[in-house]
């Protein structure tokens, strides 16, 4: 390989140091730069340095390029384009050294030497003679320097001349890799060896195990044992080693310009010599701003993640990963701090940055747990509420600041820092709800779900632009749901998301409750309050895709970690987002742990999985050849299918009673069937077919509905093939569709009559119920996430009547077992009349587990009164009219059956 060499001389010729090494494939400019870097890093005291070289690029960089390159993130401008500079890894190290030394540059000319004589052949490569330009003062001796590249006598040469600054004494350096530290009585003849390569990697933020250098290390020289304690603080002016027991301290010696310090103590010395725990010594730092800080040494603590943890994390079966990864408050040997852990297998280095270190990317480098790809570091002295991120050095040297994928909290967007959070502070009082949850969430239980967006359900009346907090919403929501008869609420995603307009469906912080409405503890109290009121809480969960925000999961370590490398698999064409790589153990394990996290830490009662159809099909929303078939040549995403099955199995096993609900819009079979029968294992599936057919039918003018009668009756052909939930979700009142009341045909009276009719039909149709906020009182405007619902409409009788009708349906639904006990079996349903398309009338019977307990539903989908209309019933008896959508109490004209009707035999 190509050789580089530097010669380092003191001005008085008292010390002379040389070193050389090789680097395969390096060109001349890089070799010169390597010599400059290694020479500067070999100087352990600030010095005036003259660099003499014939490399034009090195001269340019040292004299006028560095500041521009640094300000442009190590790029230079060419015809309007920003191009990465060559050898950026070395120039960053030069930049660090220039903060410590004063460097001058001179160029020299090269005289071609005579051909080597025969006597020199076989004794190694010829050594050219270089005549440097005169750069020394008159009478000052300029030592000769030699540098060569094997087999190339015309290579550039470089010399570094070290001269003492007038303001400080320069200690002679014995070796570029040795440090001489004095003890209290005098020089201690113990030398600690630190590789220049290791120091360079540490200062450049690419050392996989900084513990090899930093922290306490026992050293032995000539039979004498000593303890070397090293610390790294790039912004420091001086550091001391402190013995808290004795109340004494000693200065640490700066052994590298990047900020590496060292103190060596004989083992018999009281100060740290008997140290067995990290708490036995402290480090005091004086920074460049004049501040002082005394702290425990992060590099004196052993790793907290066990080998078993690492095995499970890499296997994707560490279902409690959120207890180990991310940021966790810990106490070790009486020292309180935070243990950080993050997965970044291809990163060159990872550091923790935050308020505690001035967001420095080099102060707290983490240790890589090989071969797991997990980086870990315990930092003492950090408490809850501290802001932090990870600085990830990606392959090629580019450093990006990333959010913690396992963070429990983050700043309010657009700020992106994470917040160290303790999730154990809330004292739960929902024991009664949790004990009865299996029965409450059973498939034979009533379930009327109120879907809402926390940021726009209600706003502060005094400040309509202000979101209400979790604590402000909870009591209002409890009162409303109890009055309206809802059994559950479904929250649109509450995981942290940078773009409010995504409604939460472009998640960055999967484990972080959005801080828009308060803290994680506030959300826990919110759920607790609803549980104590007998109301279940379901959240929308988004494992199908994630956004491309630079601080998020996208190319986290510079490679496709969470996503697929190939955009035909890894990018979603509709939403401009990225698709998870479910076939990678660590990715599927991350998502599974996240699902369990919400059930465990927040007592969530159900997870509604968004966009399941996009997960199941490799060609979803793709045309032609813009997709990659599976190993069998099919379009099914086999890895996603396996993931969904595992998700349902694990959630149901570890949290009995928790619902899993699929938003799946295709005819995929067995979505809500057990995995042991070949299904995906969901508790419920949204009946998107029923929703689309029913709304399409209702949008027809009543006079035309007889031609579309099958749009209503078709749903009963497949109604019992899945455990269906009937959804009128937020998706039906956005993107130009208008509100539900506005989608109804006719004049004002007919619109409200049609919507009441639709709800009555829905509540008696087999399946659990879901409606979106605002639809229950007939909001006219299409939903807007930036404003509150139109609660002022309730001053009008028509809107108030519709709201009363929905409340009536909910309470009736919970009272009548025939409307909910047998939702998913044909035994709970029987047609009475499904063929009267001419009059647009449907009549059917719903049955409870006890077949003698039944309810008859009759729906007239035209505004024509049907006086004396007859239909068959199972028994000759009096039939009580328990609900009439045309009641004046609900805003109708009160046309009905006067409380009931007596059946007669034929």
23 classed as catalytic:
no
Terminal-residue alpha carbon distance, the chain: 105
Ramachandran sector of residue 508 (left: φ over 0; alpha: ψ -120 to 50; beta: rest): alpha
DSSP assignment letter at 614? H
663 classed as catalytic:
yes
Burial 644-677, CB ≥16 within 10 A → b, else e: bbbbbebbbeebebbbbbbbbbeebebbbbebee
Catalytic residue of the set 521, 663, 722, 823? 663
526 C-beta neighbours (distance < 10 Å), count = 28
Q: Give the separation between CA 818 and CA 855, rounded to whole angstroms.
A: 6
Angle at 175 between CA 172 and CA 177, to 5 degrees: 125
**Strand locations in 508-581, DSSP E?**
509-513, 536-541, 571-572, 577-578
Long-range contacts: 308-315, Cβ < 8 Å, 24+? Answer: 310/369, 310/372, 310/374, 312/589, 313/343, 313/372, 313/374, 313/586, 313/589, 314/372, 314/373, 314/585, 314/586, 315/585, 315/589
DSSP assignment letter at 208? S
Residue 878 contacts residue 869 (beta carbons within 8 Å): no
**Residue from 778, 698, 688 nearest 733 by CA:** 778
Which residues, in sequence order, are CB contacts of 477 under 8 Å at separation 6+? 452, 457, 489, 530
Diameter of the chain by CA atoms? 133
Q: How far is C-alpha 782 from the chain's CA centre?
A: 31
Residue 682 contacts residue 607 (beta carbons within 8 Å): no
Q: Which helix (H) or strand (E) holds 586?
A: helix 585-601
Q: How far is C-alpha 699 from the chain's CA centre?
A: 42
Beta bridge partners of 19: 6
Q: Give the separation between CA 906 and CA 899, rounded to whole angstroms.
A: 23
Report the side by side order of strands in the sheet with 48-53.
Answer: 16-23, 2-10, 158-163, 48-53, 102-106
Residue 662 contacts residue 544 (beta carbons within 8 Å): no
Residue 672 contacts residue 662 (beta carbons within 8 Å): yes
Q: Give the separation between CA 591 and CA 849, rounded to whole angstroms.
A: 38
* Tokens linked to 517: 């409405």
Q: Give the separation between CA 673 and CA 655, rounded to whole angstroms.
A: 18
140 C-beta neighbours (distance < 10 Å), count = 12
Task: Decide the pairing of beta strands 829-833 and 841-847.
Answer: antiparallel
Q: Give the separation between CA 229 and CA 265, rounded to whole angstroms.
A: 8
Q: Provide DSSP, 312-332.
A: HHHHT--TTGGGTSEEEEEEE
* Tokens linked to 49: 């340095």
Beta bridge partners of 227: 218, 265
What is the three-class DSSP state of 345? coil
Q: Taking each helix axis as running N to C, give the angle between helix 688-699 and helix 748-764, from 0 to 180 degrees, rounded to the nearest 10.
A: 150
Catalytic residue of the set 610, 711, 732, 821? 610
DSSP assignment letter at 694? H
Ramachandran sector of residue 161 (left: φ over 0; alpha: ψ -120 to 50; beta: rest): beta
Residue 233 contacts residue 192 (beta carbons within 8 Å): no
Which residues, in sequence order, are CB contacts of 256 under 8 Å at separation 6+? 41, 44, 199, 203
Q: Which residues are catalytic?
A: 610, 663
């Amino acid at each position: 390989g190509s050789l580089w060499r530097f010669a380092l001389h003191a001005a008085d010729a008292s010390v002379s140091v040389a070193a050389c090494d090789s680097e395969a494939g390096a060109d001349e400019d890089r070799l010169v730069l390597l010599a400059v870097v290694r020479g500067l890093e070999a100087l352990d005291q600030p010095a005036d340095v003259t660099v003499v070289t014939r490399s034009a690029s090195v001269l340019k960089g040292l004299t006028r390029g560095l500041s521009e390159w640094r300000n442009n993130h190590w790029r230079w401008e060419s015809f309007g384009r920003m191009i990465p500079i060559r050898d950026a890894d070395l120039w960053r190290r030069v930049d660090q050294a220039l903060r410590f030394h004063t460097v001058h540059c001179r160029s020299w000319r090269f005289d071609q030497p005579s051909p080597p004589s025969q006597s020199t052949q076989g004794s190694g490569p010829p050594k050219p003679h270089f005549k440097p330009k005169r750069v020394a003062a008159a009478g000052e001796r300029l030592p000769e320097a030699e540098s060569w590249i094997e087999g190339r006598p015309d290579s550039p040469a470089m010399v570094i001349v070290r001269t003492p600054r007038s303001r400080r004494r320069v200690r002679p350096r014995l070796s570029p890799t040795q440090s001489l530290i004095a003890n209290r009585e005098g020089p201690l003849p113990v030398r600690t060896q630190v590789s220049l390569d290791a120091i360079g990697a540490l200062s450049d933020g690419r050392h996989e195990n900084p513990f090899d250098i930093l922290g306490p290390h026992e050293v032995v020289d000539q039979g004498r044992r000593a303890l070397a304690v090293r610390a790294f603080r790039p912004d420091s002016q001086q550091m001391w080693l402190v013995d808290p027991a004795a109340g004494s301290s000693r200065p640490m010696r700066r052994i590298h310009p990047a900020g590496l310090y060292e103190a060596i103590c004989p083992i018999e010395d009281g100060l740290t010599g008997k140290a067995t725990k990290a708490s036995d010594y402290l480090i005091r730092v004086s920074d460049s701003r004049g501040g002082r800080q005394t702290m425990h040494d992060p590099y004196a603590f052993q790793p907290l993640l066990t080998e078993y943890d690492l095995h499970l994390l890499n296997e994707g079966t560490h279902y409690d990963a959120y207890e180990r990864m991310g940021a966790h408050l810990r106490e070790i040997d009486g020292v309180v701090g935070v243990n950080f852990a993050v997965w970044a297998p291809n990163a060159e280095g990872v550091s923790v940055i935050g308020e505690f270190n001035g967001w420095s990317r080099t102060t707290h480098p983490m240790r890589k747990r090989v071969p797991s790809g997990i980086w870990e570091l315990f930092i003492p002295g950090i408490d809850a509420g501290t802001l932090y991120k990870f600085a990830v050095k990606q392959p090629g040297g580019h450093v990006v600041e990333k959010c913690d994928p396992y963070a429990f909290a983050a700043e309010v967007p657009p700020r992106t820092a994470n917040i160290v959070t303790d999730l154990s502070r809330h004292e739960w009082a929902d024991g009664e709800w949790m004990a009865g949850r299996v029965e409450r969430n059973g498939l034979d239980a009533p379930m009327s779900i109120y879907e809402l967006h926390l940021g726009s359900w209600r706003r502060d009346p005094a400040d309509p632009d202000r979101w209400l907090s979790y604590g402000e919403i909870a009591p209002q929501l409890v009162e409303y749901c109890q009055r309206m008869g809802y059994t559950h609420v479904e929250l649109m995603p509450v995981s942290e998301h940078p773009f409010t307009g995504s409604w939460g469906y472009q998640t960055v912080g999967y484990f972080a409750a959005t801080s828009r409405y308060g803290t994680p503890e506030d959300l826990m109290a919110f759920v607790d309050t609803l549980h104590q009121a007998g109301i279940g809480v379901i959240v929308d969960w988004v494992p199908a895709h994630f956004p491309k925000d630079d601080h998020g999961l996208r190319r986290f370590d510079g490679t496709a970690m969470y996503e697929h490398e190939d955009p035909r698999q890894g990018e979603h064409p509709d939403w401009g987002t990225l698709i998870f790589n479910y076939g990678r153990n660590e990715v599927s394990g991350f998502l599974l742990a996240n699902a369990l996290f919400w059930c465990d830490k927040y007592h969530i009662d159900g997870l509604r999985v968004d966009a399941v159809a996009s997960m199941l099909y490799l060609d979803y929303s793709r045309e032609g050849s813009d997709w990659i078939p599976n190993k069998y040549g099919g379009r099914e995403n086999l890895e996603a299918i396996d993931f969904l099955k595992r998700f349902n199995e694990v959630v149901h096993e570890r949290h009995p009673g928790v619902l899993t609900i699929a938003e799946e819009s295709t005819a995929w079979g067995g979505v809500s069937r057990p995995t042991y029968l070949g299904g995906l294992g969901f508790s419920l599936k949204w009946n998107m077919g029923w929703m689309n057919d029913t709304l399409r039918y209702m949008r027809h003018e009543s006079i035309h509905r007889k031609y579309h009668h099958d749009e209503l009756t078709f749903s009963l052909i497949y109604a019992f093939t899945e455990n269906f939930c009937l959804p009128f979700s937020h998706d039906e009142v956005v993107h130009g569709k208008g509100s539900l009341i506005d989608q109804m045909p006719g004049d004002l009276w007919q619109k409200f009559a049609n919507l009441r009719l639709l709800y009555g039909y829905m509540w008696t149709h087999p399946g659990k119920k879901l409606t979106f906020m605002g639809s229950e009182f007939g909001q006219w405007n299409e939903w807007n996430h930036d404003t509150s619902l139109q609660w002022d409409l309730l001053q009008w009788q028509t809107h108030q009547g519709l709201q009363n009708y929905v409340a009536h349906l909910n309470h009736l639904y919970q009272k009548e077992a025939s409307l909910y006990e047998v939702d998913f079996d044909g035994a709970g349903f029987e047609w009475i009349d499904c063929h009267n398309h001419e009059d647009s009338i449907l009549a059917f019977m719903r049955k409870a587990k006890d077949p003698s307990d039944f309810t008859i539903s009759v729906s007239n989908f035209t505004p024509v009164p049907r006086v004396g209309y007859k239909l068959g019933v199972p028994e000759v008896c009096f039939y009580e009219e328990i609900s009439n959508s045309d009641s004046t109490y609900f805003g109708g004209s009160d046309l009905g059956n006067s409380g009931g009707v007596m059946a007669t035999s034929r």
